[in-house]
A and B are shown apart, each in its own frame.
Chain A
Amino acid sequence: MADYEMALVIDDSRFARMMIRKAIEEIAPGCRVFEAESADDALERLEQLTTLYDLLDLITIDHFMPGMKGFDLAKILMGRCANALILIVSSNTQDAFQEEVAQLGVGYVDKPIDREKLEIALAKYGREDE
């Protein structure tokens, strides 16, 4: 079991958020999972509860959302959530896209996300003690 305690799931699809939440709760029972349906929604929530910036240890961001794209949100959150592992989640498995994610310096998981895929991503990109 991973020891993530506070996660933020950002995805415009409610169904996708449900799947990601389920995978996180299976891997890290007891992890508190917040949800946001857009980049603006996520930033608004974080501004309302600024303590989350330090407490979040896992953030999943759908890249392709209405409004601000996942890459741009990831750049903002990388500077504000120093303790969080940031994963870009997308069904876009094109090589060029994955290279962009790698250049950004965050992790990548392809949709649909399930427990196994998330476990692999956490092992690949997560903290060494997991």
Chain B
Amino acid sequence: MSSLTDLELDVVREVLNLGMGHASALLSRMARDSIELSIPQVREVNLEELDGWLEETGGEQICGVLQTFEATDFASRAMLLFPERQTLEVVKVMVGDEMAPDDTVTFESEALTEVGNIILNTCLANVAQLSDTRFVGAMPLFHSWEHAKGQLVNLEESSNDRSLLAASIDFGLESKGLSGYVFLLLDLTDAKHLLDTIMNSMGF
């Protein structure tokens, strides 16, 4: 049973929707193509359940971008997960064939970090606007999923049972036949704090 109310889950869905919607405008200009988005799904999960959910999406190599952010009285981290190969195909469309073979590996991690950075920051900007709070975000860091999972587990000395809020959205560049997805992860306790702040700020 969810510990978030239906309205709180709806707010999370809408925040990801806003973030991805705005990010897609930036990314579509880079890709010179329109980006189609699905309706977001939101679930409360532990790491084991998250692994299962990721497996359902195709079980591909997953990578993550982790960003810490803080306000006056609050600090947390958000993580974005996406399928590495599919997202790289999208990145290649964005930069054309200008990738130099010698630095492809470095370039790929930088490019994926930048895509993650755009999406995370647009989500954060919307949370900041809705909650009337100023957040300062640190530099985003790129991780493989295995390493990223370790980062999640290490947060607050938690275990595999720790609850996370996970929201996912599918995206596609229809004319180029490319598709992928992103997952936004947030500690459930931190998510509740942010949701309370948003609802108070909106006067709801």
A contact set with B: CB distance below 8 Å: 12-16, 18-19, 22, 64-66, 90-97, 110-112
Contact = CB atoms under 8 A, between A and B. Distances in A.
B28 interface: yes
B11 A15 contact: yes
A95 B27 CA distance: 11
A104 to B, nearest CB: 16
A91 B34 contact: no
B10 interface: yes
A22 B130 CA distance: 13
Q: Which DSSP category, helix, strand, loop or mixed, fits chain B's interface?
A: helix
A26 to B, nearest CB: 11
6 contacts: A22-B202, A91-B20, A94-B24, A94-B28, A94-B35, A97-B34
B91 interface: no
Given A18-B202, A64-B39, A97-B34, A13 B13 contact: yes
Contacts of A90: 21
A66 B41 CA distance: 12
The residue in B11, B14, B37, B129 that gathers the most chain A C-beta atoms within 10 A of its C-beta is B14
A64 B18 CA distance: 11
B7 A92 contact: no
A15 B6 CA distance: 10
A91 B22 contact: yes
B169 to A, nearest CB: 11
B109 interface: no
B203 interface: yes
Nearest to B204: A18
A15 B10 contact: yes
Interface string B1-38: 00000110011011001111110110011000011010
Given A19-B202, A92-B25, 17 more contacts: A13-B14, A16-B14, A18-B202, A18-B204, A22-B203, A64-B39, A65-B39, A90-B21, A91-B18, A92-B37, A93-B25, A95-B28, A95-B29, A96-B28, A97-B34, A112-B14, A112-B18
A12 to B, nearest CB: 8
The residue in A12, A92, A96, A110 that gathers the most chain B C-beta atoms within 10 A of its C-beta is A92
Contacts of B17: 13, 64, 91, 111
A93 to B, nearest CB: 4
Nearest to B202: A19
Contacts of A111: 14, 17-18, 21
Contacts of B35: 94
B21 A93 contact: yes
Closest 9 CB pairs of A and B: A91-B21, A93-B25, A96-B34, A91-B18, A13-B14, A15-B11, A94-B25, A92-B21, A94-B28
Nearest to A99: B34
Contacts of B28: 94-96
Contacts of B39: 12, 64-66
